[in-house]
A and B are shown apart, each in its own frame.
Chain A
Amino acid sequence: MKAETFPSSAIFHPLKFMDVSRWLFVFVALTVAYFVVPPFFFIIFTSFVEERGASAGSFTLGHFASILSSVGEVRTLLWNSLVFSVGSAGGALLFGTLLAWLAERTNAPLRPMAYVSAYLSFGIPGIIKVIGWILLLGPKAGMLNVAVANLTGVHPLFNVFSLPGMILIEAFLWTPVVFLLMATPFRSMDPSLEESATVSGGSGWQVFRSITLPLALPSVLSVLILTFVRSLEAFEIPALIGIPAGIDVLTTQIYLQVRGGFLPKYGQASAYSIILMILVALSLVPYYQATRYTHRFVTITGKAYRPRRIDLGTLRWVGGFLLLLLPLLQVLPLGALLWVSLLPFTRQPSFEALAVISLNNYFSAFGDSTILNAILNSLTVSLCAATATVLVTFLASWLVVRTSIRGRWALDQLAMVPLVFPGIVMGVALLKMYLALPLPIYGTIWVLVFAFITRYLPYSMRFSHAGLLGVHRELEESAEICGSTWLQAARKIVVPLVMPALFAGWIYIFLITIRELAVALLLYSPGSQLISVRIWELWENGHVGELAAFSLVISAGTVMLAVIFQRLAERSGLQV
């Protein structure tokens, strides 16, 4: 991209600005590279090397060949993957965007509930929610299905073990993320544009379609890329719902290679990551083209404004009902889990079952002296990882959005790379990396902090990138014309304005790392136990009731923490 994108860059001290930003660029690029390149290298290496047997260590194209051959044989694999990813990403995007618009730009009631439930959803491990949905919508004994059958005789109402079931549940899992990512641009949007359109006679829908939505385009695209790529490489739903349904996607093969067998086959999983990486790189191209002229997407300018809320009239209750769906989508599976957490074994709701409810599962799940230590470790790791990740990605996205340094797009690409590492493969890559490095952090909780930074760079990058795109350059320019340095302008103007986006990213990473598993599993050491490892153990060996009890309490705790953080942020003047 050329400098003409920023025609006004000559107004203020270009030399000083460019010098400092160049040094900053080098520093940030090296930092990001440190986190991304070694595991990336490991994955490339593993994908081209024979894993076992007499020829172990020698070069091979076999891993790619076997993936490509299975794709060639079974076109349904590709087709299923595509339907699943497009369906769930599209569903989550539509629903999440609609809800974000309702919450931020209209006078629909119940918006605080939508926010609380969106945060709540991050605190609960994906596998737990999927189990909740299976308990509700299982074709034979799903509580909802049985209840509907008792009332109407229709059975089953909905079979979760199907392709629509996979798409629906994956879309449910992603809706809260989309909601939070989209709320930021809607909140900070200059209403004068919408007002002009309304005054010129545009209907509500026309205004939304031709003004609001285009302004939010960078965010929409960011979110689309995130959800699409994530669904493409998702393991939980294909494994837990797809396999019983007999519906295989690309990742099912990889999942079974790595997790199913006696000797894990990292070579194929790595080869698959490489293919995925190429796909992601390709899908980023249209994104860059669409967001190339960044000034088109500014939603925060120097003009004073108060975001106006559109009066929906009597329709506001419809909006309120839709907003209520977000908490409902969390409460339903959690309700099912709450029910089984109170029982000695899983059974249908009935008066007979009510007689045996107890808190025994809660006592046994927490009856362990090492839990407190695990909680402290998890909190430390998540706080540090979230803060560091947001800091690095804010600087990185500022450099990408604001400077005209050549190759800045490469920095963005670099930060996106970990998105496509399957968690398990990344766990192995990081294990080998930190064992090999002379850094004395292996065996401590710090190795987990470093690992989480790597894993969540792409997410944080999209949060801060979308936030920065919305801030008009004129604000910094005015400050610089008034004599402030670019650093002062950044500190006093840019940072406060993108803070809501950064905070959303921070909370997201904090909550998601509390329950992150794939990477933690191999990297934790005796003495650095984490909560998520305990959850995994209960999933593997405990019964669903105990697992539900433990996860519900931990989720409630993390959500309470998130609310406290939010309150603290609001008190310090941050609008979040």
Chain B
Amino acid sequence: MRVLAIAVLILLILASDSRSQATKATSFSELAAYTGADREQKLAAGAKNEGKVVWYTSLAGSSYKEIGKAFEAKYPGVKVEIYRGTSEDLMAKITAEAQAKRFLVDAVETTLPLLRVMREEGLLTPFTSPHLGKYPDEAKEKADKGLVFWTIDRESYIGVAFNKKSIPTSAAPKSYEDLLRPEFKGKLGFATSDTGPRTIGAMLIHKGEEFLKKLGKQEVTLHSMSARALLDLVVSGELGASPTVFRSHSSEVIGKGAPVSWAPMEVVPTNAGGVTVAARPPHPHAALLLADFILGPEAQKILEKLDYGNASKDYGFKRWYPEKGLTTAQYDKENTKWEKVLRELGRK
């Protein structure tokens, strides 16, 4: 009898759980699309009840912590819990959690290739935000009914950083072609992570294979470290120059007086990051509130202060988005090709 009672109880709990999840799901997509004037109040009140928001991001440095703090200050009672990893880490975690049907994440801010994978796997909810009007069309991944899957909230630009003691001012590079000069022989280093293959992609598409063959004669070295760590080798003089360094990192060390300069080439490979909300967030109001906040003026100010670029601004160079117009499978194929070329470049 007792066993039966427990079984009934369990069934009731399961049933009520699935029912509440079903209603949550429909109401969440409505909530995500809600454009009423009281959107912020409504979300803030709901978020306060939920108590916290779980945010996965590949933003780096102090940026995501500062955004988290600013959000908590604006909406007291809503704690921001952050998992920070590279987009590869995020991909492994998000897909594994989704496969195991553990819905733990509310909002995600990461680079475009991962956002694409999430969309293809049905892990995103199309949403709107009162701040969307301030973003150019290219920055939005459009869904039906004026909604977006994500919106690009920050950009990082890859160019050539060079040590001014090692490379004379007269040889300061202005285009990829300049890297073939004798002044760069034996002094060029590429990062194997992320920025390296993308730079190779830019060179292949805009300069052709012949250029890379010539570059191969410059005794290029590869370094399996992050673009930031590689910059330190340029700063110390171990490397003369690297075409795989972010603008934001360079301006940070230049600000401290390091003998380094950063120059955009004829195209600037761009790492773009977008903000989105999960398909089944455990804290739906807080998820949308955080997404709105990251796209809003307070968080944008923080990102700008840290030298992240904005999709709507012109910085005087030509951007190139490596993943643009490609499916995940196509991009993976291209990226694999670029990596292979990069590996050959470093082979002795």
Tell me if B10 is interfacial: C-beta within 8 Å of chain A.
no
Question: CA–CA, A239 to B226, complex, Å?
Answer: 12
Are the CB atoms of B257 and A431 closer together than 8 Å?
no
Whether B238 contacts A138 by the Cβ 8 Å rule is: yes
Assembly CA distance A540 to B227 (angstroms) = 8
Interface residue from B61, B83, B235 paired with A525 (Cβ < 8 Å): B83
Closest chain B residue to A127, Cβ basis: B225
In this assembly, does A125 line the interface, its C-beta being within 8 Å of a C-beta of chain B? no
Expressed in whole angstroms, the minimum distance between the Cβ of A428 and any Cβ of chain B is 6
With the chains together, A541 CA to B97 CA distance in Å? 26
Q: Which of B85, B221, B223, B228 contacts A521 (CB 8 A)?
A: B85
A524 at the interface (CB under 8 A from B): yes
Interface residue A263 (Cβ < 8 Å from any Cβ of B) = yes
Q: Is the pair B238, A259 in contact by a Cβ cutoff of 8 Å?
A: no
Q: Does B332 contact A (CB under 8 A)?
A: yes
Is the Cβ of B329 less than 8 Å from the Cβ of A52? yes
Report Cα–Cα, A345/B231, bound state, in Å.
10
A262→B347 contact, CB < 8 A: no
Across the interface, do B192 and A256 meet the contact criterion of CB distance under 8 Å?
A: yes
Does A209 make an interface contact (CB < 8 A)?
no
Is A537 interfacial (CB 8 A cutoff)? yes
Q: Cβ of A346 < 8 Å from any Cβ of B?
A: yes
> Chain A's nearest CB lies how many Å from the CB of B107?
12
Return chain A residues, CB-CB under 8 Å to B34.
none
| B221 interface neighbour in A161, A261, A262, A435, Cβ under 8 Å | A161
How long is the Cα–Cα vector from A212 to B237 in the complex, in angstroms?
49
A246, B221: Cβ atoms closer than 8 Å: yes
Whether, in the assembled complex, B86 has its beta carbon less than 8 Å from a beta carbon of chain A, the answer is: yes
A344/B332 in contact, CB under 8 A: no
- Taking CB atoms, residues of chain B closer than 8 Å to A329 are none
A246 to B82, CA, bound (A): 38
Closest B residue to A367 using CB positions: B62
Roughly how many angstroms separate A53 CA and B92 CA in the complex, as a whole number?
17
Interface centre among B223, B253, B347 (most CB of A within 10 A): B223
Can you name the residue of chain A whose Cβ is closest to the Cβ of B81?
A526
Q: Mark A255-266, 1 if CB is under 8 A from B, else 0.
A: 110011111100
Q: Does B302 contact A (CB under 8 A)?
A: no
The A247-282 residues at the B interface (CB cut-off 8 A) are: 248, 255-256, 259-264
Closest to B192 in A: A260
Q: Contacts A522-B92, A543-B253: A345 and B83 contacting too (C-beta < 8 A)?
A: no
B96 CB–A CB distance under 8 Å: yes
Query: Does A135 interact with chain B (Cβ within 8 Å)?
Result: yes
For B4, the chain A residues whose CB sits under 8 A away are: none
Contact A539 B93 (CB under 8 A): no
Residues of B within 8 A of A491 (CB): none
In the complex, the answer to whether B96 meets A261 with C-beta atoms within 8 Å is no
Any A CB within 8 A of the CB of B65: yes
Q: Tell me whether A432 is interfacial, beta carbon within 8 Å.
A: yes
Closest to A443 in B: B104
Q: Contacts A260-B193, A428-B92: A540 and B335 contacting too (C-beta < 8 A)?
A: no
A243 touches B222 (CB 8 A): yes
With an 8 A cutoff between CB atoms, is B70 at the interface? Answer: no
B54 within 8 A of A: yes
Which residue of the partner chain A has the closest CB to B253? Answer: A345
Please state if B348 and A246 are interface contacts (CB–CB under 8 Å): yes
* CB–CB B238/A140 < 8 A: yes
Shortest Cβ gap from B230 to chain A (Å): 10
Contact residues in B for A248 (Cβ distance below 8 Å): 347
Residues 24-65 of A, flagged 1 when their CB comes within 8 A of B and 0 if not, give 000000000000000000000000000011000000000000
Contacts of B60 in A (CB 8 A): 537, 540-541
Q: Say whether A259 contacts B100, CB under 8 Å.
A: no
Check: B88 CB closer than 8 A to any chain A CB: yes
Which among A260, A346, A436 is the interface contact of B224 at CB below 8 angstroms?
A260
Query: CA of A435 to CA of B104 in the docked complex: distance in angstroms?
Result: 11
B236 CB, min distance to chain A CBs, angstroms: 4
Whole-angstrom CA separation of A348 from B225 in the bound complex = 21
In the complex, whether A99 has a CB less than 8 A from a CB of chain B is no
- In the complex, the answer to whether B221 meets A244 with C-beta atoms within 8 Å is yes
Number of interface residues of B (CB under 8 A): 59
Nearest A-chain residue to B224, judged by Cβ: A239
Given A260-B192, A432-B96, A435-B102, also A344-B236 (CB < 8 A):
no
Bound CA span A431–B191, Å: 28
Partner of A537, one of B84, B221, B253, B332: B84
Against B, the Cβ 8 Å flags (1 = close, 0 = not) of A347-368 are 1100000001000000000001
Expressed in whole angstroms, the Cα–Cα distance for A159 and B225 within the complex equals: 19
In the complex, what residues of A have CB within 8 A of residue B54's CB? 526
Which of chain A's residues have a CB closer than 8 A to the CB of B30?
A: none
Report chain B residues within 8 Å CB of A261: 197, 332, 335-336, 339
A540 touches B88 (CB 8 A): no
Contact of B92 with A264 in the complex, beta carbons under 8 Å: yes
A521 to B118 alpha-carbon distance, docked (Å): 20
In Å, the complex CA distance between A80 and B182 comes to 32
Closest Cβ neighbor of A161 among chain B residues: B221
A94 to chain B, nearest CB (A): 29
| Chain B residues with CB under 8 A of A526 | 54-55, 81-83
A546 to chain B, nearest CB (A): 10
CB distance from A342 to the nearest CB of B (A): 13
A525 to B96, CA, bound (A): 13
Q: How far is the CA of A370 from the CA of B66 in the complex (A)?
A: 12
Check if A496 is an interface residue, CB within 8 A of chain B: no
Contact partners of B9 in chain A: CB under 8 A? none
Interface centre among A245, A260, A427, A442 (most CB of B within 10 A): A260
Tell me whether B343 is interfacial, beta carbon within 8 Å: yes
B89 within 8 A of A: yes
Q: Is B229 an interface residue (CB 8 A)?
A: yes
Interface presence of B258 (CB below 8 A): yes
| In the complex, chain B residues whose CB is within 8 Å of the CB of A243 | 192, 222-224, 346
Q: In the complex, what residues of B have CB within 8 A of residue A255's CB?
A: 224
Task: Decide if B113 is an interface residue (CB 8 Å cutoff).
Answer: yes
Contact with B along A115-144 (1 / 0, CB 8 A): 000000000000000010011001111100
A427-458 toward B: CB 8 Å interface, digit per residue (1/0)?
11001100110000011000000000000000
Across the interface, do B100 and A436 meet the contact criterion of CB distance under 8 Å? Answer: yes
A345 touches B113 (CB 8 A): no
* B331 on interface, CB distance cutoff 8 Å: yes
21 pairs, A vs B, C-beta closer than 8 Å: A52-B329, A139-B238, A140-B239, A141-B237, A240-B225, A245-B348, A246-B347, A248-B347, A256-B339, A259-B193, A260-B224, A260-B339, A261-B336, A262-B335, A345-B256, A345-B257, A356-B257, A521-B89, A522-B92, A524-B83, A526-B83
Interchain residue pairs A-B with the least CB separation, the first 5: A526-B81, A246-B348, A435-B100, A346-B236, A541-B60
Q: Which A positions have Cβ atoms within 8 angstroms of B?
A: 52-53, 131, 134-135, 138-142, 161, 239-240, 243-246, 248, 255-256, 259-264, 344-348, 356, 368, 370, 427-428, 431-432, 435-436, 442-443, 521-522, 524-527, 537, 539-544
Known: A243-B222, A436-B100. 6 other contacts (CB 8 A): A142-B238, A246-B348, A256-B192, A263-B332, A345-B258, A431-B96
